[in-house]
Amino acid sequence: MFETYLTVNNSVCSDSVSDSGLTSRSSRVESVKRYIWNIFNWEMMWSFGKLLLAFAVAFTSAATANAAVVFDRTIYYRNTPPDAAGHYRFEFQTTNGITTKAAGNENGAVGVVQYVSLEGIPVTFTYVADADGYRAEGEHIPAVPLHVLRQLEYIRTHPAVDEHRSRRW
């Protein structure tokens, strides 16, 4: 009688060979299945452990980084109510660098806004709000492209044509 050995997870599984010389196929298949399953489980557990470790490190570092941030949200505010002529002044400033100043009356207002962008660049723009609408000016505000200005000028100088009257049937 012959025996074949297959090592599975540091244990020895043997398949017996019958007197006729044939090995039980089902027992060999089961041994291989157990061997593969044990390897698969070990790799899955190892991967899961690495994943848990990565999450633990990420959450710990995020909590540490957020703990160092101090939120000081002091707001300095000044408001002059409208006088008899309707003129008012308004301004406020925060400790993180946001500043707004405005003055005006019932016919319109002018103002300036300053803040620091997420990239650390100081941004300033001025605005006018009156009967012609709201107009803001600043370096970060994109300008109207030249071709659009030309098209608007063309539309202004060439009145629309009534198509019903221009057709000759």
What is the rounded average pLDDT of the residues 112-130?
91
pLDDT at position 128 is: 94
Q: Do 104 and 127 reside in the same domain of the chain?
A: yes
pLDDT at position 109 is: 92
pLDDT at position 118 is: 86
Report the share of the chain in percent with pLDDT over 90: 20
When the pLDDT of each residue in the chain is averaged and rounded to a whole number, the result is 75
pLDDT at position 169 is: 56
Q: Do 85 and 117 reside in the same domain of the chain?
A: yes
What is the rounded average pLDDT of the residues 116-134?
90
What is the rounded average pLDDT of the residues 129-151?
89
Q: Do 81 and 152 reside in the same domain of the chain?
A: yes
Question: Is the confidence at residue 144, as pLDDT, over 90?
Answer: no
Q: Do 112 and 55 reside in the same domain of the chain?
A: no
Residue 87's domain comprises 75-162
Decide: 4 and 14 in contact? Cβ < 8 Å.
yes
| Encoded tokens for 94 | 């925060």
Q: What is the number of domains present in the chain?
A: 2
Walk across the sheet containing 75-80 and list its strands. 75-80, 88-94, 99-105, 108-116, 122-130, 133-138
pLDDT digits (tens, 9 = 90+) for 26-80: 777 777 777 776 666 666 676 767 777 777 777 776 555 555 555 667 778 888 8
Closest C-alpha among 116, 88, 115, 114 to residue 102: 88
pLDDT at position 71 is: 63
Alpha helix positions (H), the chain? 25-67, 146-157, 163-166
